Structure 1
Amino acid sequence: MTAAHPIDRADVAELRERIRGAVHRPVDHGYPTVGFNVAVDRRPWAVIDAHDAGDVVAAVGFAGANDMTVAVHATGHGAVTVDGTSLLVRTSGMTAIEIDPRERTARVGAGVRWQQVLEAAAPHGLAPLCGSAPSVGVIGFLTGGGIGPLVRAVGCSSDHVREFEVVTGDGRLVHASPSENAELFWGLRGGKATLGVVTEAVIDLLPIATLYAGAMYFDAADAEVVLRRWRAWTDTLPDDADTSVAVMRLPDLPGVPAPLAGRTTVAVRYAALTTPERAEAVLAPIRAAADPILDTVGTMPYAAIGAVHADPVDPMPVVEGGVLLRDLSDGVVDEILRHAGPDVRTGLAVVEIRLLGGRFAQAPRVDSAVCHRDAVAHLYAVGVLAPEAADIAAGQVSALVASMADYSDGRRLPNFSASSDQAVIAACYDEETRSWLSALAVRFDRRGVLRAGQVVR
């Protein structure tokens, strides 16, 4: 007779006794695990709505005792498949925020979203270095490195973390900073959930109240002119200026601005930490490229920085792909036009290039697992799995990424590479970083409890 697997003896009543928050089995009302990408299938053994760090410790301990793995979820951005051998810990209820205006820091719980920090910091004239979508969770973004609308001017968001509280795979709640558990602190910034489940972080707040930023949207007929002008313009940008460009096909739905709904446009995003006069002068060549349909660029409160990219906030089924570029030449524009130009039938809803360089390319004060800082730009493509495009979107995302072979070494960024495929994960790191993350994972997770999702193993 075959011996029973430990997971077959796992007792949900025992788990519920250990957990202050709610525990949901598949038959329970609170079980559904849909995240931001509703196309990702997640069917864990149980879902735990963690009340505090103690619940995370208990979940990891229970998983280890029953030969399970643990995956973590806050907002569901960057979700990957989870099966019945895992517990899914939801941290969305851990929403404590503490602003320290004197130290210019924010202490944030694992379920906090960037918009909450923006609103809490703004009355003090301070700002967190968030990403383009403030609806994203702070912790998941930081553990993936994090590139936002000011990545060239201020650097990688994870470079502005001061400390973490984290539950390691062996079930210990530990503090990690440059002076305490420094190796763990190194790997948590860039290594995603490889080394632990972060329950709290202390991050820098920057003295930024306003900035000159926004987006200009051009008609599809001007796509080639705008894309080529943007590409040439990026060669001239100072380091305090950030930009991205995106070919977008937005649906005709409520919430989409009327001038953009149901049509193909090209958006040039721009943000500058300088005087409005100087920022406007730098932007002038793009404003002269064509007549925009909509121009939102101007001085804005930093707390409104989400308007620069205007990323969607509602869950949807999508397929995504991204790759770092070592060369941003006219050939890149040629390929984007070939795959997603205005006359192409495509399931690609967004094709975006974010310019890198500047502070992102510089070594941080405290080293981290964030790699590939020498990349020139990042290309990102999203296909929406709507009925009319579901059969072609995935193939077109892959084909576009593959078309960048002459301009890329195939390297990736963790936050744009939601996958449990070790080949995909490996492309996010150089060989030395990947090897060291793997070694640290063995040290901090001897039982392999965190061997699930987007982790280096």
Structure 2
Amino acid sequence: MTVTADEDLGSLIEGVVALPEDPDYLRCSPWNTAVEVAPRMVVFPRSASDVAATVRHAGAVGATVAVAATGHGALPVGPESILVHTGDMTDVAVDVLGRTARVGAGASWQHVLDAATPHGLAPLCGSAPSVGVVGFLTGGGIGPLVRTFGLSSDHVRSFEVVTGTGEILQVSPERHGDLFWGLRGGKATLGIVTAVEIDLPELPEFYGGAIYFDGDYAENVLRAWSQWCPGLPESVSTSVALLQAPDAPEAPPALAGRFVIAVRFAAVGDRGEALDLLTPIRAVAPALLDAVEVLPYAAIGAVHADPPHPMPVYEDHALLSGLPEEAVCELLRLAGPRAGSLQALVEVRQLGGAYARWPRQRSAFCHRDAAFAVTTIGIPVPELAEQVRGHAAAVLQALGPWSTGRQLPNFAPASDPSRLARCYDDDTLYQLAALAERYDPDGVLRAGQVARYVF
């Protein structure tokens, strides 16, 4: 059935269709409030069939389809697009004996943590449990335990996905293996994921959290951290953050309004070994707050303590081949406590370990050889937006001698083709674009972060 009027779509689906004048339309506002999201209409589906009907409708009316859940990785959406907002599809079904979960497209990691952790099972989420599961997994997924378990997308068993032609497919290594390869790393290129099945490692607790030091010790801490990282076993994942803590009620009193440097630490296995491994960092300087302890896995979000509430952010990102003394000096020069940094946070994550190894089922995720990932996050209030962006670029430019020239799909999201080209090697980008031509021949899903031919 061909539909030509947006208003008629509501008669074909169980979910809600919201036009700009409808109250439900405001629900499409993303977590990153700096991003303008103003589609021609918003569809809140309740099933894969609703999504498929929406995609077919978009093809009939000449619109593209964008997709969103929590909006952490939001990109601009304009009136040429219909936005599929999956926020009503939050079902989580845990198979305790099989140690798996089937997760709806709109679920956040907090939904999965709530369902799985009472059984001693550990969803391999990102640093913020409020992030959506599907967007995180289709970008690869780097969590607080990435060196131990590898990419979270390496633990995906299957997808349910709607293609650009409105077909609903069950995707696994055995069925539509080309899509299974591309959906793990290809973001929104190959379809709209409506459900995903993931493995759940057994891990009731871990030893981790963060140690916060006053910014006056930033040079000592950052230098010690960079020298400490190469000797760490795979049982440990860590990052360091130069952080301008907000002077706000939600900030711990010891940190509020201060420039601090935080060492994040998450270890599995023997607690005594983990204690010994962390001792050199604890000895560098007196801590303002030492929040590293044995934690239930349900508290995994405490490692990074990312802000839970919507806010405007501008993010930039690069991968590094190493972090030598010269790179540490450049970081401190531009983002240290006396640099007048315009970034709320500059973070460096150690990679390697299980992250660097290919899983049995290969994926479209690239750049497993990177040693570190650096991310800048600024608050682009109108009067400072350009300065924030310029300063972020300056930080990454200063690290240029150690940059691989590449990026990861889930960091600093953008639809710019040149940025996408940095997320993949040439062969992978070519294969993703070719698969998009096969599964979305009319370009209905060509909105947002999707691979295209750029050569």
Shorter-chain TM-score tier: over 0.9
Q: TM-score, normalised by structure 1?
A: 0.97
RMSD: 1.3
1:55-94 matches, cutoff 5 A: 55-94=50-89
2:370 and 2:404 in contact (8 A); partners too: no
Distance 1:197 1:392 in 2: 36
Change (3 A) 1:195 1:387: closer
State the distance in 1 between where 2:72 and 2:277 align. 34
Q: Of 306, 319, 334, which aligns to 2:329? A: 334
| Partner-residue secondary structure (3-state), 2:193 | strand
Give the conservation status (yes or no) of the 8 Å contact 1:332–1:407: yes
Equivalent of residue 226 in structure 1, options 194, 199, 221: 221
Q: What's the CA shift for 1:417?
A: 2.9
Instruction: Within 5 Å, give how 1:145-294 maps onto structure 2.
Output: 145-294=140-289
What is the distance in 2 between the residues matched to 1:375 and 1:302? 27
1:56 & 1:346 partners in 2: Cα distance? 44
Alpha-carbon shift at residue 347 of structure 1 (Å): 1.6
Per-residue CA shift, 1:112-139, capped at 9, x if unaligned?
1111111211121111111111110100
Measured after TM superposition, the shift of residue 389 of structure 1 is 4.0
* Residue 386 of structure 1: how far off its partner (Å): 3.6
Q: Distance in 1 between matches of 2:68 and 2:335?
A: 32
Q: Return the alpha-carbon distance in structure 1 between the equivalents of residues 326 and 443 of structure 2.
A: 44
Residues 333-386 of structure 1: CA distance to partner in whole angstroms, max 9, x if unpaired? Answer: 112111111112222000000000000001111000010000001000001124
TM-score by length of 2: 0.97
TM-superposed deviation, 1:295: 0.2
Post-superposition offset of 1:244: 0.1
Give yes or no for contact 2:5–2:61 (8 Å, CA) kept in 1.
Answer: no
**What residue is the counterpart of 2:387 in the other structure?**
392
Query: C-alpha displacement at 1:42, in angstroms?
Result: 1.5
Cα deviation, residue 10, structure 1: 4.1
| Secondary structure of residue in 2 paired with 1:414 | coil
1:431 counterpart letter in structure 2: D
Over 3 Å counting, the alpha-carbon distance change for 1:106 and 1:220 in structure 2 is: same
1:388 deviates by 6.7
2:115 paired residue number? 120
Report which stretch shifted further, 370-379 or 394-403. 394-403
Structure 2 vs 1, CA of residues 327 and 392 (structure 1 numbering), >3 Å: closer, same or farther?
Answer: same
1:413 pairs with 408, 415, 440, which one? 408
Distance, in Å, in 2 between the alignment partners of 1:417 and 1:434 is: 18
1:22 to 7, 16, 27: 16
Secondary structure in structure 2 of the residue aligned to 1:47 = strand
Specify which of 307, 311, 315 is matched with residue 312 of structure 1: 307
**Aligned residues of 1:347 and 1:390 also touching (Cα < 8 A):** no
After superposition, give the CA deviation of every residue in 1:87-143 in whole Å (9 maximum; x if it has no partner): 000001101110001110000000111111112111211111111111101000000
Q: What displacement does 1:228 show?
A: 0.1
In the alignment, the residues of structure 2 paired with residue 215 and residue 387 of structure 1 have an alpha-carbon distance, to the nearest angstrom, of: 32
Q: What is the SS of the residue equivalent to 1:235? A: helix
How big is each residue's C-alpha offset from its partner over 1:154-180, in whole Å with a ceiling of 9 and x where there is no partner? 100000000000001111000100100
Answering whether residue 118 of structure 2 is matched by residue 132 of structure 1, we say no
CA distance, structure 1, for counterparts of residue 119 and residue 4 of structure 2: 49
The C-alpha deviation readout for 1:270-313, integer Å capped at 9, x for no partner, is 01112111000011110111011000111110110000000011
Deviation of 1:409 (Å) = 2.2
* Equivalent residues, number: 450
**Structure 1 counterpart of 2:275, which letter?**
E
**What amino acid sits opposite 1:15 in the alignment?**
L
Q: Which moved more, 1:217-226 or 1:47-56?
A: 47-56
Paired residues for 1:35-54 under 5 Å = 35-54=30-49
- Tell me which residue corresponds to 1:4: none
- Residues of 1 paired with 2:312 and 2:412: CA distance? 16
Q: Provide the C-alpha distance between the structure 2 equivalents of 1:130 and 1:115, rounded to a whole number of angstroms.
A: 9
Check the 8 A contact 1:348/1:393 in 2, yes or no: yes
- 1:387 positional shift: 6.1
Give the letter aligned to residue 154 of structure 1: F
- In structure 1, give the amino acid aligned to 2:11: E
Name the counterpart of 1:31.
25
Using the alignment, how far apart are the partners of 2:393 and 2:220 within structure 1?
Answer: 26
Given that 1:346 and 1:389 are in contact with CA atoms closer than 8 Å, whether structure 2 keeps it comes out as: no
- 1: CA distance between counterparts of 2:269 and 2:326? 32
Deviation of the 1:13 alpha carbon = 2.2
Q: How far apart, in 2, do the equivalents of 1:383 and 1:122 lie?
A: 33
Partner SS for 1:158 = helix
Residue 6 of structure 1 corresponds to which residue in structure 2?
Answer: none
1:323-402 equivalence runs, <5 A? 323-386=318-381, 389-402=384-397
Query: Do the aligned partners of 2:56 and 2:165 also contact (CA within 8 Å) in 1?
Result: yes
Percent identity, aligned pairs only, is 53
Contact in 2 for aligned 1:417/1:424 (Cα 8 Å):
no
SS in 2 for 1:379: strand
> Which letter does structure 1 place at the counterpart of 2:17?
V
CA contact (8 A) 2:242 2:346 kept: yes
The secondary structure found in structure 2 opposite 1:178 is coil
Which amino acid is the alignment partner of residue 387 of structure 2?
Answer: I
Partner of 1:141: 136
| Unpaired runs of at least 5, structure 1 | 1-8
